[in-house]
Structure 1
Amino acid sequence: MISHKIKEAIKEYSEELTELRRKLHSEPELSWEEENTTRFVCEYLENLGISYRRTEPTGVIAEIRGGKPGKTVALRGDMDALSVEQLDKELPYASREDGKMHACGHDAHTAMLLIAAKALNESKDELPGNVRLLFQPAEEVAEGAKALVKQGAVEGVDNVFGIHIWSQMPTHKVSCPPGPSFASADLFKVSFKGRGGHGAMPEDCIDAAIVASSFVMNVQSVISRTIDPQQGAVLTVGKMVVGTRFNVIAENAVIEGTVRCFDPATRDHIEKQLAHYAEHVAAIYGATADVEYIRGTQAVINDEASARLVQSVAAEAFGEDVLHNEKPTMGGEDFSYYLDEVPGSFALVGSGNPDKDTQWAHHHGRFNIDEDALATGAELYAQYAWAYLNGE
């Protein structure tokens, strides 16, 4: 199932792989600002002789055309960094940009996909089909995948595969179970309007602070009392802005939060119930409520055949003990937009190693990866493409 030529190539390029990741880590760019990263990817692909085109405003779609007819499989690696200050400034490859950092592993994803492309390109004459390479911007704002789909990223594609480095799993472990992997991620904003006035005269007012507080205390029962307890869901109020001064009863309050779940029907139900609760809580106090519900990413649901192929490839390439069954996360991933169009799967590759201090959570200022995981990810990208195209 796997290619030993690809395995040897990844091993040969392991030092270059680390160098690529460190370069990218030291030069982070935020979502939709990945100009230098895009330019670097284009130059690297050009040197390999791989055809590509830039997407707008950033990002790259490339294609390795096999020497034999067949299907097309897409491999995706995201490129953007976060507005996070790197705390490990003594690292030789620490971020050179104040307040910007690759705190989620996208530098690793880009580097792994570049080396996978290099290895696959050397075997292209033997490939029965094509490999499309998606170097995606703006994953952190859940916009990049949708933009690439609109620009033809999966036109003519039969299957799509992505990887995320995962610090919560031991280095080298690979997890890709069929079914839910990442949750849908929605935003909501509730604006309450009461009637302001003097803090000493509450009888003349409708206190928006009381209304908003009541909503926050009661809305959790949407999860605990109105949905099937076997359907996982999270509703979090992350921000509340209310009032202007200590002795003024607030006229306005604004609440913002997020909803995460895996089941589409549960998602619909929570959206309706959230509006229902806001309107009725406001009515109790004589206030009004305006609810804005913004659907973000879909849930990432791994296609069974694709996920099983990932598991088989990983087991053959690295040994059976590499397989890990990581439970689904309530985190969001815009890889879901590709899966809306074509079947595929999204794998996690462990990079957590307490001995190397790489067990920090994603988006933390001390996030780092065990670079021994890079070769695992690069080979998994390439071997998956090889196995899929050579499958029945």
Structure 2
Amino acid sequence: MIQTEMKEIIHSKIKEVIQTNSEELTEIRRKLHSEPELSWEEEQTTAFVCQYLSDLGVSYRRTEPTGVIATIIGGRSGKTVALRADMDALPVEELNTDLSYASKETGKMHACGHDAHTAMLLTAAKALNEIKDELPGNVRLIFQPAEELAQGAKEMVKQGAMEDVDNVFGIHIWSQMPTQKVSCTPGPSFASADLFKVTFKGKGGHGAMPHDCIDAAIVASSFVMNVQTVVSRTVDAQHPSVLTVGKMVVGTRFNVIAENAVIEGTVRCFNPETRDHIETQLQHYAEQVAAIYGATAEVEYIRGTQAVINEKDSAKLVQQVASAAFGADALYHEKPTMGAEDFSFYLDKAPGSFALVGSGNPEKDTEWAHHHGKFNIDEDALATGAELYAQYAWGYLNQ
């Protein structure tokens, strides 16, 4: 009974600290929003995080070239849970120029909410640090650079972020969900994301004499039209997947038959076998289409992020924690997205889960898509995210 009462006291203490520091939380987010830094350039953000942690008395170390790994040591022995927030901005021009905290950097913007993630984790760190003597274990804090390049998580793991970690948890602000709602379901959450590049080589010549040429424009166009059937006709319909051609560069002049064509695109799916299959089929389709016209094809397939698959027990814990902290009505079921997240690389090292916290509010014009120049968040969601970070850590360590 005493132990149960103590857990409830700490649960309430976390909520109290988050609410007491809600104005500071908003100020931090706005500061970071106005000073966006692109992937691997997060020098000011890293310095700010380090200073904040130093003021709290939390031990940390900088990673190279940017990023921070910190640990809150609990007063009692136990497991270690990791909490991750990303920090980088995007090369997007801010269109919300009327905001007092609009980006000060031309062509750079926090158009995906990473400013919010960093602010929320710092505030969660403050709450957890205040109850550290009662923590039955440790909390690892990961402030990650370069998520937008799908490179940061790998590098943080390489530099020791997941050493001795038993479980890992992350959050993403989500403008497609109502403010303060929380979604975390077992199974697929974000898709794997790969890049492909196909280079066709034909035989150029004068536009008036196509019979002497092998037109790379025709080859490339045929490939673009036919490659969609890789998904529609060769992949099991119960395994969602997307193949998108986003770029095609072909030809040099209006009256010259193109000798070369370069096509670039992306592949998204959740199933590893489907991923392997699509890669193989891309190679096959490119070679066969080229052969029909007497051209050649070279395929480069680059694997990016893996699918984010929420581990069952961790996802259930998020639901329990969110329900206890915010009420059962806060729970929301957001369908898996074909968007990508390099959080997947942490899940290679330990079980865990990735939650979405809603920030969409039509009255505050915060329902714009991520990566759009008018993207913004309903700042009422900040306290929800900060508390979810902290309560998850407390809940996991007390299992």
TM-score (norm 2): 0.98
Matched, 1:302 2:326: no
1:90 to 88, 98, 101: 98
Select 1:45's aligned residue among 53, 59, 82: 53
Q: 1:253 aligns with which of 253, 261, 265?
A: 261
Deviations 1:30-72 (A, max 9, x none): 0000000000000000000000000000000000000000000
Q: Select the residue among 164, 175, 178 that pairs with 2:172.
A: 164
Matching residue of 1:382: 390
Runs (4+) of structure 1 exceeding 2 A deviation are none
**Cα deviation 1:109-153 (Å, max 9, x = unaligned):** 000000000000000000000000000000000000000000010
Which residue does the alignment assign to 1:54?
62
What is the CA–CA distance in structure 1 between the aligned matches of 2:285 and 2:345, rounded to whole Å? 30
Task: Give, in angstroms, the shift of residue 90 of structure 1.
Answer: 1.0
Amino acid at match of 1:26: S
- 1:73 correspondence with 2:63: no
Given residue 345 of structure 1, which amino acid in structure 2 is its aligned partner?
S
Alignment of 1:141-220 (within 5 A): 141-220=149-228
For residue 251 of structure 2, what is the amino acid of its counterpart?
G
Aligned match for 1:339, one of 337, 347, 361: 347
CA distance in structure 2 between the aligned counterparts of 1:193 and 1:186, rounded to whole angstroms = 23
Partner of 1:7: 15
The alignment-based identity, stated in percent, is 81
Shift of 1:21: 0.2
SS of the residue aligned with 1:185?
A: strand
Matched residue of 1:279: which SS? helix
Q: Which runs of 5+ in 2 are unaligned?
A: 1-6
Match of 1:34 in 2: 42
Q: Secondary structure at the residue paired with 1:254? A: strand
Count residues in correspondence: 391
Who is 1:136 aligned against? 144
| Distance in 2 of aligned mates of 1:78 and 1:227 | 33
Corresponding residue SS for 1:181:
strand
Give unpaired runs (5+ residues) of structure 1: none
Determine whether 1:231 maps to 2:239. yes
Give 1:86 shift: 0.3
SS where residue 266 of structure 2 aligns? strand
Question: What is the rounded CA distance, in whole Å, between the counterparts of 2:96 and 2:318 in structure 1?
Answer: 34
1:280 to 279, 283, 288: 288
* Whole-Å separation in 1 of the counterparts to 2:146 and 2:96: 24
Following the alignment from structure 2 to structure 1, what is the Cα–Cα distance between the partners of residues 85 and 152? 11
The one-letter amino acid of 1:361's match is A
Residue 246 of structure 2: SS of its match in structure 1? strand
For the residues of structure 1 that align with 2:148 and 2:222, how far apart are their CA atoms?
Answer: 32
Task: Report the AA paired with residue 160 of structure 2.
Answer: G
Question: Which secondary structure state, in structure 2, belongs to the residue aligned with residue 365 of structure 1?
Answer: coil
Q: CA RMSD in A?
A: 0.5
1:320 and 1:106 map into 2 onto residues whose CA distance is 27
- Aligned equivalents of 1:369, 1:221: Cα separation in 2: 38
Cα deviation, residue 313, structure 1 = 0.2
**Which residue matches 1:270?**
278
> Where does residue 63 of structure 1 map in the other structure?
71
Cα distance, 1:8 vs structure 2: 0.5
2:4 is aligned to: none
1:221 maps to: 229
Kindly report which structure 2 residues correspond to 1:289-328, keeping only aligned pairs within 5 A, or say none. 289-328=297-336
| AA partner of residue 238 (structure 2) | Q
Shift of 1:100: 0.1
TM-score when normalising by structure 1: 0.99
Give the counterpart letter for 1:207 in structure 2.
Answer: D
What is the match of residue 122 of structure 2?
A: 114
